[in-house]
Amino acid sequence: MASTIKNTYFEAELFRQRAFVAMLFVTTAMAGLLFGYFNLQVLRFDEYREQADSNRVRLKPTMPARGLIFDRSGRLLTDNVSAYRLELTPEQVEDIDTTLLQLGKLVVLSKDDLRRFRRAMDSSRKFLPITVKLPLSEEEVARFSVNRFRFPGVEVVPYLTRRYLYDDLFAHVIGYVARLDQEDLKAMGDERYSVLTHTGKTGLERAYEEQLRGTIGYEEVETNARGRSLGVLKRHTSQGGTDLKLSIDTDLQKATVAAFGELTGSAVAVDPNTGGVLAMVSLPSFNTNLFVNGISTVDYTALSTDPSRPLFNRNVRGGTPPGSTIKPFVALAGLESGMRRPEDTVYSSGEFFIQGQRRGYRDSHAGGHGTVDLYASIAESVNTYYYRLAMDMGITKFDTYMRRYGFGQPTGIDLIGEIPGTLPSPEWKRKRFNQPWYLGETVIAGIGQGYWVVTPLQLAQGTASLANGGRRIPLRLVQATRTGLNQAWQPLPAPPSTSIGATAAQLQAIRTGMEATMHTRKGTGWMIALGSPYRIAGKTGTVQKISRRGSVSMDPRSLPLHLRHQALFIGYAPAENPTIAVVVVVEHGGYGASTAGPIARKMLDAYLLPKSEAVVPEKPND
């Protein structure tokens, strides 16, 4: 084992010696430590007591100004304005109830204010100031300032509050900030953020929260014995938040809202070449300014119980079956898969039958459309053509192409909470309902009915792919950012686009069909495009409430009320060199051609025609 013989007595003795040495060392070191403490605590006590008593330099975090938001032409959409809030530091207030009662005589304290204050007091640290009320009116500031000496531990603090210059116009784009709560703080993972009074809750305010927020700075503040600040000794400046420049065109956004009139629904306009979102509207909307400084219970109840759901972002979270607007994509899948050529024809008799089944699947005309090729099938929206095509492809192949065009998955827009929608498939149905798939469901999938759920954003992305030569391009609201007023705008890197796989010739066939929809007499969009100085390519769609057509095995209850009976339109213009692609969804909107189409036309006019023609106010023509 070892090179030398083990001598246990010797080893024990050796250990004894070493243990004594160690003990000597331990004694010396601990005596030294004790002396060090004696020096601090006894010999230099006066010095340190003095320092502790005058320890009034506190690090006070300073709030950075939140980033501003501009539209594509540099128009200011969201900024910060100075305001005052009332803060109370529990540790410095002897009787909080009495103080609140006294304060209530100087400033208006609502039940909401008091409830919020109590809740914050329960969960935050005693020496941290808690907001009693914000914002204070000028009168309240003046009244409190005169009486300030009566309220130790209560202070009026200036801060910047968010302002949305267009009230409800961008509610579902920019979203809003609201009061920071304890959960938000926990999610941020840093207690220092407690100086922030607000945080982005929805829309871009939430998605770009970190950039918009900026970096917190510090002030070394001298305070008196009660913690009231006497002056700033040193500043470590905060870094203001990043400004955002959107691809949104405010005029187009306004024109879109105006075009809807009293109707509810949603619309998206995108630049098909960049994926930049030009307009995004979800109606009804709401005034985001209501939320900033704490929405009153009354206002919130009104908004959240409104059956037309103003708080619901229809573009991002709202799904609808695509109806006939899916047909150009199904036609493209037919071409890509080699199962159809553009000139191949199908005979439409008015009703389509699966062999051996009694139930028929109808066309929109009782007598049918006769013999139609691909172009006519799009222009006239011939159901039979797509029943047969979907049945021939089979649901698996059908889904493969639809997925490639972007359906059944988020578009990747820079907002949070985008739903993926539903691509109808046997696997999905088994998981969802534990039921087998029927052939009839493949058939109705071909005309965008049944289990299909798409978001307006997906349709916009798909339409953009048809317009831009077959590239699936992620949608983006933010175009550029800058880190300060005197800095240059830095364009955000273009997100990578993927090819949908179609050849130029295949795409051209679809585009020709969509132009025929708008500019031939038989086309379903003829009335929409009448008199337009530029050429439009488009497709109408209607999702019936509960229709006999295509409802073979459909449970009526699977469709929520707000999804029933929608009018849809997708399109782009100018047809030969598109610069804008639009999607319009009108709820309870009759037929796509009669309600959604005219709204889309007004959007295209607003964007493509010289301003003088576009701004002429028109009555929506039904």
Partner 1 sequence: MIELLAGFRDAIARLLSRVDVPLMAALTGLMAVSILVQSSAGDNALHSVLAQSARFVLGSAALLLLANTTPATLRSWTPWIYAGTLSLMPLVFIFGSGRSANLWLDLGVFYLQPGELLKLSVPMMLAWYLHREALPPSWKTLAVSAMIVGFPVLLIVKQPDFGTGMLVAASGGFALFLAGLQWRRILIAIGAAAAAIPIGYQFLMPYQKDRIMVFLNPESAPQGAGWNIIQSKIAIGSGGFSGKGWGESTQAALDFLPEHTTDFAFSVFSEEWGWLGVLLVMALYFFVIARCLWMAMQSKNTYSRLLTGTLALTFFIYIVVNGGMVAGFLPVVGVPMPLISYGGTSAVSLLAGFGLIMSAYSHRKYIGD
Interacting residue ranges for partner 1, rule: CB under 8 A: 1-8, 10-12, 14-19, 22-23, 26-27, 29-30, 33-34, 36-38, 40-42, 44-45, 47-49, 51-53, 55, 58-59, 91, 125, 127, 218, 220, 227, 236
- For partner 1, the closer CB: 31 or 339: 31
Largest CA-CA distance found in the chain, in angstroms, rounded: 114
- Minimum CB separation from partner 1 for residue 12, in Å? 7
- For partner 1, the closer CB: 128 or 609: 128
What are the tokens at 284?
A: 């009804």
Check residue 398 and report its DSSP letter: H
- For partner 1, the closer CB: 235 or 432: 235
- For partner 1, the closer CB: 7 or 371: 7
- Minimum CB separation from partner 1 for residue 551, in Å? 49
Separation of alpha carbons 582 and 538, rounded Å: 9
**3-class secondary-structure state, position 278:** strand
H-helix segments, 282-341:
289-292, 297-305, 314-317, 327-336
What are the tokens at 144?
A: 């409190």
Element (H, E) at 221: strand 217-223
- Minimum CB separation from partner 1 for residue 146, in Å? 29
H-helix segments, 39-110:
45-53, 96-103
DSSP string, 504-531: HHHHHHHHHHHHHHHHSTTSTTHHHHTT
- For partner 1, the closer CB: 53 or 97: 53
The answer to whether 408 touches 402, Cβ cutoff 8 Å, is yes
The answer to whether 333 touches 386, Cβ cutoff 8 Å, is no
Residues forming a β-bridge with 60: 219
Cβ within 8 Å of residue 614, ≥6 positions away: 251, 255, 605, 606, 607
Type of residue found at 361 = Y
- For partner 1, the closer CB: 129 or 294: 129
Tell me how long the chain is: 622
The answer to whether 260 touches 283, Cβ cutoff 8 Å, is yes
Exposed (0-12), middle (13-18) or buried (19+): which is 460, by Cβ within 10 Å? buried
- Minimum CB separation from partner 1 for residue 231, in Å? 17
Cα–chain-centroid distance for residue 182? Answer: 22
- Minimum CB separation from partner 1 for residue 34, in Å? 6
Separation of alpha carbons 245 and 375, rounded Å: 40
110 belongs to the catalytic site? no
* Per-residue three-class SS string for 555-591: CHHHCCHHHCCEEEEEEEECCCCCCEEEEEEEECCCC
The answer to whether 539 touches 325, Cβ cutoff 8 Å, is yes
- Minimum CB separation from partner 1 for residue 154, in Å? 18
- For partner 1, the closer CB: 34 or 108: 34
- For partner 1, the closer CB: 125 or 548: 125
- For partner 1, the closer CB: 13 or 210: 13
The answer to whether 109 touches 99, Cβ cutoff 8 Å, is no
- Minimum CB separation from partner 1 for residue 130, in Å? 15
424: phi then psi, degrees, rounded to nearest 5: -65, 125
Q: List the end-to-end C-alpha distance of the chain, in Å, as a whole number.
A: 102
Separation of alpha carbons 224 and 231, rounded Å: 10
Torsional sign, CA 273, 275, 279, 281: positive
Type of residue found at 334 = G
- Minimum CB separation from partner 1 for residue 33, in Å? 5
- For partner 1, the closer CB: 16 or 341: 16
- Minimum CB separation from partner 1 for residue 50, in Å? 8
- Minimum CB separation from partner 1 for residue 36, in Å? 6
Name the catalytic one among 238, 266, 282, 324. Answer: 324
Cα–chain-centroid distance for residue 187? Answer: 18
Residues forming a β-bridge with 80: 162
Residues acting as catalytic residues: 324
